[in-house]
Amino acid sequence: MAVTSAVDLYRQASAHASTIMAGVCAEHLIGPTPCAKWTVQDLVDHLVGGTGYLLSAATGNQPVPPAGPATTGQFAVGFAAVLDAVARPGAMDRRCMSPLGFEWTVAEALAGTFMDVLIHSWDLASATGQGARLDPDLVQACWDMFVPVMPDRGREAGLIGPAVAVPVEAPLQDRLLGVMGREP
């Protein structure tokens, strides 16, 4: 059965990312990732920061600035807090600013963050030598929701690198990674 709600998509992608985070060792943190100019620590910081962004958006509170480098355990705590926050009445209808500078609902932000978590979980798994296979239902949902518009908007904003050519007959995960600027 395909996953359809933004909450379910975010929950499943974040649970997978938490599993990948649990496999990150201290020596991985200084290593490179498929994200240009980002180390594993930078990627962990970004993913944990995403939970702070969503929590702030869902509650209307100001984000709490990080006290230092994020830890992999903070991601699981953060994503659980986000799920609690978005379950509150009216939370999904709140409005916030997107990373691309436009206003959207928390429901839309949750869907956008699902995409971010899904792609970055692959980055993190690839960078740390873990299994990089993504859930096919999540890949399909991400493709259907965001391709082709969102990668182009991300490139225009400098958040996503150039698309990587992938054969049209390649598996959907590879095509999604390619359009998101990754070499599958």
The 10s digit of each residue's pLDDT in 76-112 is 999 999 999 999 999 999 999 998 888 999 999 999 9
CA distance 134 to 101: 29
- Region 163-167 average pLDDT: 96
CB-CB contact of 75 with 105 (8 Å)? no
Residues in the chain: 184
Cα R_g (the chain), whole angstroms? 16
Q: Report which of 107, 138, 120 is spatially closest to residue 4, judged by C-alpha positions.
A: 138
**Do the domain assignments include residue 1?**
no
Counting the structural domains of the chain, the total is: 1
**Do the domain assignments include residue 25?**
yes
What are the residues whose beta carbons fall under 8 Å from the beta carbon of 85, sequence distance 6 or more? 54, 55, 58, 59, 91
- pLDDT value at residue 1: 39
- Domain encompassing residue 168: 6-179
CA distance 99 to 101: 5
**Do the domain assignments include residue 184?**
no
CA distance 79 to 70: 14
> Is 125 exposed, middle or buried, given 0-12, 13-18 or 19+ CB atoms closer than 10 A?
buried
Q: What is the pLDDT of residues 30-64, one digit of tens each?
A: 999 999 889 999 999 999 999 999 999 999 998 88
CATH of the domain at 101: 1.20.120.450
**Do the domain assignments include residue 160?**
yes
User: Is the pLDDT at 145 greater than 60, yes or no?
Assistant: yes
Helix (H) or strand (E) holding 10: helix 6-22
Q: Which residue has the higher pLDDT, 151 or 95?
A: 95
In 27-135, alpha helices (H): 40-59, 72-86, 106-127
- Percent of the chain's residues with pLDDT above 90: 83
What are the residues whose beta carbons fall under 8 Å from the beta carbon of 127, sequence distance 6 or more? 28, 31, 32, 33, 34, 40, 43
